[in-house]
Amino acid sequence: MESYVLFLFVLGAGLVLRVQEERARIEHLGAALRPYRIEGLMETLADGYLRALGEADLDRREQVWNALEATEASLVRDLRQFAADLARAPLGDFSFSSLPVSLPYATRLFPGATIDLRRLVAVHAEGIERVAANADGLERHRRAFVMTAEIYLLQHSCHWYCKSRPVASARLVRRHQTAYEQVVASVSPETRSAYLALLSRKG
């Protein structure tokens, strides 16, 4: 009986600590994002691409694409500055665990399974800027597809940091009907290579 009570106490304490850590990470990220319109711009682009691709009127479609290019430029500027801000922030505030479950003190107990969100955001910012510049000369519909994947992967990284990878992946499926593996496969080759390399260099 005593062992059972002790188990419940430890479990309850662990849950409380986990919630506190998640809340702190959400507050850190929210404060860092507050000066920017990144979330709104990403939403505008994701919705706008669908609108442009479904527009039958050629003139109207061109207007939508032009507006989206301006939105892309705004997102690139905000992400570039956001990444620079994070690079100056303490590592302790923006490190998170790559473990499949969210555990309290995971970054301290398992430093080899720790990811630096600051470097991850830099990868995403560079990837989105690269796709927006379109040095590869992708057709508009293809570029929209790749940019959408870049946006989804950035959102996944932010939710992974705040919660856990399974939660972030489930959110992708719930909100966008897209699996995490599909998103990783759909970003630009440069982003995918840098992203996977960073995850493999945990710690």
Q: Whole-model pTM above 0.85?
A: yes
Mean residue pLDDT across the chain: 89
For residue 79, pLDDT beyond 60: yes
Cα(15)–Cα(21) distance, integer angstroms:
10
Q: 29 vs 25, 35, 47, 121, CA distance in Å? A: 6, 11, 24, 11
Which pLDDT score, from 0 to 100, does residue 9 have? 39
Query: Residue 91, Cα to own-chain centre: how many angstroms?
Result: 17
Relative orientation angle of helices 117-133 and 189-200, to the nearest 10 degrees = 170
Higher pLDDT, 106 or 16: 106
Beta bridge partners of 97: 114
The pLDDT tens digits for 9-38 are: 344 444 545 667 889 999 999 999 999 999
List, in sequence order, the alpha helices (H) in 34-139: 38-54, 58-87, 106-109, 117-133
8-12, 110-114, 180-184, range with greatest mean pLDDT: 180-184
Residue range 142-162: average pLDDT?
Answer: 97
Task: Please enumerate in sequence order all residues whose Cβ is within 8 A of that of 128, keeping only pairs 6 or more positions apart, or say none.
Answer: 75, 76, 79, 147, 150, 151, 154
* Residue 147: count of CB within 10 angstroms of its CB: 25
User: Which of 42, 39, 66 has the alpha carbon at shortest distance from 52?
Assistant: 66
Which pLDDT score, from 0 to 100, does residue 105 have? 63
Q: Which two tokens stand for residue 93?
A: 């505030």
